[in-house]
Amino acid sequence: MGPALTFANLESFVGQQIALTGWREVPQADATAFGTLTGDPDPMHVDPVWARTNSPYGQSVLAGFHLLSLLPALTRGSGLEIADVRLAMNYGFERIRFVSPVPVGAAFRNRVRLLRVDRRPDGKATITTLNSYEFEGQERPALTAEWVNILWPHVG
């Protein structure tokens, strides 16, 4: 195993994969709850009976925004750590694409590659990662997102 990812050595990991999470599945109850919570109860996501008959996929699929909302769980929540970082904060996105539908209950994971590191005069850094959700049995990714985070280093 190579060197640990740290605040000080981030640049040496640019262009490399820095995480590959475990597989995750989202059950229908969670897909339905997400639709209810966000006020978007699209039957393609929340009604498997409707989806079997009317959806182009023949089954219910996860909402793109649901997949996007899982990024924190599929990065830091899955063990991605950068040593000597006191705080990491979401700063936004450069580009997001919902490439392929993910059937409810299908296993998927996140492959994370470090694209860019920008050091700031205040001692913080912004990092941009390419997050690609892949799921079993599908060649194309389900989601790709260039995610920007601000990192605060441990001081002292």
pLDDT digits over 78-134, tens only?
Answer: 888 999 999 999 999 999 999 999 999 999 999 999 999 999 999 999 999 999 999
8 A C-beta contact, residue 8 and residue 100: no
Tokens of 73: 């769980």
Percent of the chain predicted with pLDDT > 90 = 88
Give the pLDDT confidence score for residue 16 in this predicted structure: 96
The amino acid that residue 9 corresponds to is N
Give the pLDDT confidence score for residue 3 in this predicted structure: 73
Asked whether the predicted pLDDT for residue 13 surpasses 80, the reply is yes
- Other beta carbons less than 10 A from residue 11's beta carbon: 11
- In DSSP notation, the chain reads --PPPBSTTGGGGTTSEEEEPPPB---HHHHHHHHHHHT---HHHH-HHHHHHHSTTSS-B--HHHHHHTTTTTTGGGT---BTEEEEEEEEEEEEEE-S--BTT--EEEEEEEEEEEE-TTS-EEEEEEEEEEETT-SS-SEEEEEEEEEEEP--
pLDDT digits over 31-46, tens only?
Answer: 999 999 999 999 999 9
Asked whether the predicted pLDDT for residue 136 surpasses 90, the reply is no
Mean pLDDT value across residues 135-139? 85
Q: What's the rounded Cα separation, in Å, for the pair 67 and 71?
A: 7
Percent of the chain predicted with pLDDT > 70 = 98
Query: What's the pTM value of the predicted model, to 2 decimals?
Result: 0.92
Confidence of residue 2 (pLDDT cuts 50, 70, 90): low
